[in-house]
Structure 1
Amino acid sequence: MPSLILSLETSSAVCSVALHRLDDGRLVGQSELRLEKSHSSHLSVLISQLLENMLHTLADVAAVAVSDGPGSYTGLRIGAAAAKGLCYALDIPLLAVSTLAALARQIAAATVPTEDLLLCPMLDARRMEVYTALYRPDGAEVLAPTPLILDETSLAEQTTHHRVLCFGNGAAKFQTLAAGNPNVAFLTGIEPSAVAVGALAVEAYARQEFRDVAYYEPFYLKEVYTTTPKS
């Protein structure tokens, strides 16, 4: 009987996959690749190698989870297409996990929780804009995912009564602006991971929060603009 969740994270420059057990949520294995613009050519290879290394096959996979966004438009499209293809071929459920919530889960797992602490994942959205949200260490959402143009007043209301821990590939843009605020701290080198996606996906599977395989689209948060290349 299939007993694993296969999770895909392609929302950033890091392409990662993970396997979790459904019964106890235990991490079985993970693999990642840090190469720019490599997702389309390496994602399927990472999946195959991880299954082989862990002595499993696709027949052992009960559901596929994908990082839902926000994040890289191209990366999210690649992850969604791969997840939908696997679910359709294997006739198994699809799960979608917020990229920001998964980032917060990564930090919460390694942070001592306090009542005044808020976790603030930030993903780069170009220029001085980020995709961000606020979570308590227990995962409760305080501020829903939103595009935020950063300035000296950003998150002023929240930092008046809370300590805010910022991380993710967009946080560096806020660090100088918030330098004078003692209630704001930063972590560096934090990238989205399929491990956190899988941990949340196990919980979502128990609640049967499945997505429609045919009509699922990633959560881009902002309208995607495309331009015609100059000839």
Structure 2
Amino acid sequence: MKDSYILQIETATPVCSVALSKNGKTVGVVEADEPNLHASHLTLFIAEILREEGIGFSALSAVAVSKGPGSYTGLRIGVSTGKGLCYGLDIPLIAIDTLYAMATGFLETRNRKEGRTTLVPMIDARRMEVYMAQYDINLYPQEATNAQIINEYSFGDGGSYVLFGSGADKFETLFEKHKHIHIEKSFMNSASFMSSIAFAKFQDGAVEDAVHFEPYYLKDFVATTPKQRL
């Protein structure tokens, strides 16, 4: 049986990340957690990971993209790049929910499996707002993806929660006296978290129309005009 190589692109958060998986297992990752890298580094990362693994574009079976929610600009860059590759190579496009991939990666890398803990992946949406979802440790959704403004009364139902992702670190002080809420600091999103999900979707034929697919922004993009200096 032919091996299935899937190129995976994650640009929904400040992390610019590219991974390559083989039959659902990550075989390589190139990534950097620095602001404003997506436009300048994404294609370089793609070329680097293929070169490191010794395969060409023709060996790819599919491209998987993080579909959002997340950064409007980052998602546009990542999805546009993925769509272009799929169209040019005539291979399927696979879309992965960003928050679900984060929860999957958290369980894979942090080894937290408390039975009653609710996983809350968060992506920063500026100020006290985040894009978030809630999952149990079996990755069954407990609350649908949404945008929320977080305050001290959030998560006040007495359950046990672990918050992680680019939107979670800023709440460490807010919840420092809440013993049922744990902030898992410095959790970095990665395209490698998509490997098992992307392969399962590929096997099931759960692919997107590469021409018409659009990212899941959750909120409309609002452009701002810089204030004039006096």
Normalising by the residue count of structure 1, what TM-score does the alignment of the two structures yield? 0.92
1:38-187 superposed matches below 5 A: 38-109=37-108, 110-157=110-157, 160=158, 162-187=159-184
Does the C-alpha gap of structure 1 residues 112 and 172 become closer, same or farther in structure 2, counting only changes over 3 Å? closer
How far is the alpha carbon of 1:2 from its aligned partner? 6.1
The separation in 1 between residues aligned to 2:77 and 2:144, in whole angstroms, is 25
Instruction: Give 1:29's aligned residue.
Output: 28
The Cα RMSD (Å) is 1.6
**What is the alpha-carbon distance in structure 2 between the residues aligned to residue 228 and residue 186 of structure 1?**
34
Shift of 1:94: 0.5
User: Cα offset for 1:208?
Assistant: 1.7
Q: Which amino acid aligns with 2:30?
A: S
Which letter does structure 1 place at the counterpart of 2:131? Y
Unaligned runs of 5+ in 2: none
- Alpha-carbon distance in 2 for matches of 1:229, 1:45: 31
Alignment of 1:196-207 (within 5 A): 196-207=193-204
2:213 corresponds in structure 1 to: 216
TM-score of the aligned structures, taking structure 2 as reference length: 0.92
- Asked if structure 2 preserves the Cα contact closer than 8 Å seen for 1:123 and 1:169, the reply is yes
- Contact preservation (8 Å) 1:2, 1:61: no
Number of aligned residue pairs: give it. 226
Partner AA of 1:65 in structure 2: A
User: How big is each residue's C-alpha offset from its partner over 1:187-228, in whole Å with a ceiling of 9 and x where there is no partner?
Assistant: 111121000022321122222211111111111111211245
After the TM superposition, which of the residue ranges 30-39 and 43-52 deviates more from structure 2?
30-39
Contact 1:167 1:187 in 2 (8 A): yes
Give the superposition deviation at 1:230.
7.1
**Contact 1:68–1:219 (CA<8 Å) still a contact in 2?**
yes
- Report the 3-state secondary structure (helix = DSSP H, G, I; strand = E; otherwise coil) of the residue aligned with 1:36: coil
CA–CA distance in 2 between the matches of 1:35 and 1:151? 28
Q: CA deviation at 1:172?
A: 2.2
CA shift, 1:85, in A, is: 0.1
Q: How many Å apart are 1:166 and its aligned residue?
A: 0.6
Shift in alpha-carbon separation, 1:173–1:36, aligned structure 2, 3 A: closer
Change (3 A) 1:230 1:166: closer
Counterpart of 1:3, as a letter, is S
Q: Deviations over 1:148-207 (max 9, x none)?
A: 1011111223xx1x3211111111232222222211111111121000022321122222
Say if 1:2 and 1:59, in contact at 8 Å, map to a contact too.
Answer: no
The residue aligned with 1:7 is 8
**Secondary structure of residue in 2 paired with 1:68:** strand
List gaps (5 residues or longer) in structure 1.
none
Q: Distance in 2 between matches of 1:119 and 1:105?
A: 10
